[in-house]
Structure 1
Amino acid sequence: MAEKTCPVRQTIIYLSEQISSGCLTDPRGRRISEQILHLTEEIAEGAAGDDHLLAINSLVEEYFHAKSPLQNQDTGKTLKGILDEHREIFQSHIQSKNCPSHDCVKLVPSPCQMACPAGIDVPTYLSFIAEGKDAQAIEVIRRDNPLPWVCGLVCTRPCEMMCVRARIDTPVSIKFLKAFAAERAMSDRAYINPVKKDFNGKKICVVGAGPGGLSAAYYLALMGYGVKIIEALPVAGGMLMVGIPRYRLPREVIDREVATIEELGVEFSYNTRFGKDVTFEDLKKQGVDAFFIAIGAHKSWDLGIKGEKEFPRVFDAVKFLKDVALGDRHVPGKHVVVIGGGNVAIDAARTSLRLGAQTVSIAYRRSRTQMPADIEEVEQAEEEGIEFSFLTIPKEVVGENNVITGLDCIKAELIKKKGSDRLAPVPILGKDFT
């Protein structure tokens, strides 16, 4: 049997072979196997309820009753091993009605849902939006993503790349419909939290109030845990707040979605650095039972070029965007060059322009088609007057008396390298320029 077969499907195949082969000579063992097969088929068809797994567990235990034939016990051990190892997959089939491996054909998610990193049920919430049921659409989205308004504005929308409508004309605007429904529901005061379970007596400390920490806090609170978030920054949101410019993601959007999480009883402690302002031992004394670490990625990579560390006007983009978000809105320079081709580079360039830079250029070592930045962001940057220098590899930041006078670069060409499908930039000797 294939190793990647869905465990639910694997159970159906195993029991079907056992029953059809006639090797289950004991009537009692055959009856138990047929009942488990029927229950498992209902799980694979999306017709199962929460009691199905309990019923299967009870039937598996019947294989081991006193004087049970050895063959029954072997079948029971095999099934018990599958259930013990893959219980979460069985539960996921029952609760989500989806089979990510595509083996249970009646539970195969749509292409857009498969492409979504959060696995959101895209077809269902789009149907609700089409019917004007924005609150119900938000309820569906928040089963897998507690920040639909935020994601509706900044998500890179891989779902739209897989949208089958694109084979006819253009993909459905899944991303913006999500933001549309969230804004409408919020305006109608219909953006409400699900009913949470009663407090179970357990306390969790979440370190970091970024999207990871906020998501963990939201679902833990719904499950009945007492949740406290400690955050080093003075605001919640993490990189949502200090990494994405306000023109793309307004601060009030983040604040309002964070407020809905706070309504669940989640406690926030800002300007608090874990290990410095509060320690692990301090929190344990306060009754914290478990920790969820979601500290984010707030550091940039160094380029490793000469002059990078020698001039005060060389900034890393992550810190630059963070400082601007926290109130340091000074123009970085009259003429700005941004090195890189991702969304952060585009954000830094467009932010520099808004702060008053006279010219802004982006130097990228590959071609336009290979830029990892969202094509929409690139097009908007061009419309705003930002210049692009492609196939440009930076060599050295040059200047004197702590004043930058230029960026020495070398032109590149794209060459296919062994073991990679992506063309790699290779410097062209003698093609130096500033």
Structure 2
Amino acid sequence: MSTLESSLPDKFKANFKEVELPLSDQEASQEANRCLYCYDAPCITACPTGIDIPSFIKKIASGNMKGSATTIMTANPVGASCARVCPTEELCEGACVLNHSTKPILIGNLQRYATDWAMKNDQVLFEKGEPNGKKIAIVGGGPGGLSAARELALLGYEVTIYEAEKEAGGLDTFGIVSFRLPKKISLWEVEQVKKLGVTIKTEVRVGRDIAFNELLETNERVILAIGMANVPNLNISGETLNGVHDAIDLVRSTKSPPIPTHIEGKRVVVIGAGNTAIDGATCSVRLGAENVKIVYRRTEKEMTAYDFEYEFAKQDGVEFRWLTQPIEIIGDSDGNVTGLKCVKMKLGEPSIDGRRKPEPVPDSDFIIECDAVVKAIGQKRHSELIEKLGLAHNDGVVLINKESMQTSNAKIYACGDVIFGKGQGEAMVVSAAQQGKTAAYHVHESLKEMYSAQ
């Protein structure tokens, strides 16, 4: 039993175990043998990291489990996490040729089966490259930073990751609910990187504990993988009342003991309809909330949460209130939340991004009685740090050369959520992993060119 599960009250232990069971040996064998091992496999093209899916599945079928796990992790340094959180129905499984005749291969489940085997058998899948004497600093130890570090270590670089949290792994470690992605999975991926000689300095915030200029002066290149910050303010009355929570903080609080009890028995309203809102809602259910509602100012069609997340929330009993805009959080004389005042919305003409703009319906105010409000309306940018670095950006989205991941500073590259938004990048763990690899490759190429010219 994990440390997290052992710290839980008995009534909550089952709630925080993984909801999807792993394949048995027999199920994995049967599923692997269904694969057609396509020569020109569309599933590979659909995977942002380009995992050789037919190859890793064939190795499962033949009993070569280490070879299967190595194939996966070679392409995707956070492949164990992605096996659990990737929207596979939109990516690899969605591209499977068997969709036309039967049902697609359960690629994500097989990926989990192989990487779980590697974890259970304490496999070290890679060896660090011959040292080349060059140093690289990576700011942020999430999926993008870890992927960049792994690739650079294989190429012989001395790599140091500077991570603000007490443990590396970023979103995978702290930001995704444990019943979908247990913390131990992400930490195993961190260990795989550390075993290549990568130094990970935790609880070090660049700009506070170490100057960014120092990193630039003591390293050949710097890769920025800082992700995003907390949920922004709603900018409505009552936001400072007791019982108003940040969804990111709520999820984080359930990933390490002691598990919080401030949601138990409460009527919870979650504001937002992305994956973080779903996580905040399902966490609340598992923490013993009496009732959980999600309110969203647009319709089901416009919600940004993955389909499987939406279905999961509905199965958990989460209620959805569409075309609903909060305008005030109501409290009692003691400063505790008692309700959420909302207004009904309607969709108007499309805005610049193509989405229909929600507009309030006159005289449609109403109150949802609740004891807790969870904010999940996106995440803030680390704009202050980006400004201090003097990097070109668009409202906190660092601008890059999309081929090389190089920023406006030739010594700084960027990957992950820090480059997502404004029509640039994708907000997926697997995309961040690929961006980290790409940044590493182009750092290597730039240094080869520089030293060969000297």
Per-residue displacement from partner, 1:109-157 (whole Å, max 9, x unpaired)?
A: 6332222222322233233233332322222222321111111011122
Per-residue displacement from partner, 1:9-34 (whole Å, max 9, x unpaired)?
A: xxxxxxxxxxxxxxxxxxxxxxxxxx
SS of equivalent residue, structure 2 residue 229: coil
Counterpart residue number, 1:264: 196
Counterpart residue number, 1:156: 87
The CA deviation at 1:213 is 0.9
Shift in alpha-carbon separation, 1:138–1:359, aligned structure 2, 3 A: same
Counterpart residue number, 1:244: 176
In 2, Cα distance between equivalents of 1:119 and 1:137: 14
1:361 pairs with 284, 289, 293, which one? 293
1:349 pairs with 257, 272, 281, which one? 281
SS of equivalent residue, structure 2 residue 176: coil
8 Å CA contact 1:332, 1:352 repeated in 2: no
Per-residue displacement from partner, 1:51-72 (whole Å, max 9, x unpaired)?
A: xxxxxxxxxxxxxxxxxxxxxx
In 2, Cα distance between equivalents of 1:230 and 1:174: 33
8 Å CA contact 1:331, 1:352 repeated in 2: no
In 2, Cα distance between equivalents of 1:359 and 1:296: 32
**Matching residue's letter, 1:272:** V
Per-residue displacement from partner, 1:148-182 (whole Å, max 9, x unpaired)?
A: 11110111222222222222232222222111111
Counterpart residue number, 1:112: 43
Matches within 5 A, 1:118-267: 118-157=49-88, 158-189=91-122, 191-267=123-199
Shift in alpha-carbon separation, 1:131–1:430, aligned structure 2, 3 A: farther
In 2, Cα distance between equivalents of 1:138 and 1:156: 20
Larger RCO, structure (CA 8 Å, separation 6 or more) = 2
In 2, Cα distance between equivalents of 1:272 and 1:318: 20
**Matching residue's letter, 2:250:** F
2:252 pairs with 322, 338, 352, which one? 322
Shift in alpha-carbon separation, 1:310–1:164, aligned structure 2, 3 A: same
**Matching residue's letter, 2:165:** L
Normalised by the length of structure 2, the TM-score is 0.65
2:230 pairs with 257, 280, 299, which one? 299
**Matching residue's letter, 2:203:** N
8 Å CA contact 2:349, 2:356 repeated in 1: yes
Normalised by the length of structure 1, the TM-score is 0.68
The CA deviation at 1:328 is 5.9
The CA deviation at 1:221 is 0.3
Per-residue displacement from partner, 1:294-321 (whole Å, max 9, x unpaired)?
A: 11112223334x2153324222212332
Is 1:274 aligned to 2:274, yes or no? no
Is 1:383 aligned to 2:315, yes or no? yes
Per-residue displacement from partner, 1:270-290 (whole Å, max 9, x unpaired)?
A: 1111122222455567x5332
Counterpart residue number, 1:395: 327
8 Å CA contact 1:214, 1:261 repeated in 2: yes
**Matching residue's letter, 1:309:** E
SS of equivalent residue, structure 2 residue 244: coil
1:371 pairs with 299, 303, 321, which one? 303
The CA deviation at 1:332 is 4.0
**Matching residue's letter, 1:372:** T
Greater percentage in helix:
1
Is 1:288 aligned to 2:219, yes or no? yes
8 Å CA contact 1:196, 1:221 repeated in 2: yes
The CA deviation at 1:249 is 0.9
In 2, Cα distance between equivalents of 1:283 and 1:423: 44
What is the RMSD of the two structures over their aligned residues, measured on CA atoms? 2.6
The CA deviation at 1:266 is 0.9
8 Å CA contact 1:199, 1:224 repeated in 2: yes
8 Å CA contact 1:239, 1:298 repeated in 2: no
8 Å CA contact 1:331, 1:357 repeated in 2: no
Segments of structure 2 that go 5 or more residues without pairing to the other structure are 1-38, 368-454
Matches within 5 A, 1:43-82: none
The CA deviation at 1:371 is 2.8
In 2, Cα distance between equivalents of 1:331 and 1:389: 26
**Matching residue's letter, 1:116:** C
Per-residue displacement from partner, 1:188-235 (whole Å, max 9, x unpaired)?
A: 44x433343210001112111111111111000000001111211111
In 1, Cα distance between equivalents of 2:216 and 2:351: 53
SS of equivalent residue, structure 1 residue 255: helix
Higher Cα radius of gyration: 1
Shift in alpha-carbon separation, 1:297–1:403, aligned structure 2, 3 A: same
Segments of structure 1 that go 5 or more residues without pairing to the other structure are 1-107
SS of equivalent residue, structure 2 residue 189: helix
SS of equivalent residue, structure 2 residue 313: helix
8 Å CA contact 1:229, 1:267 repeated in 2: yes
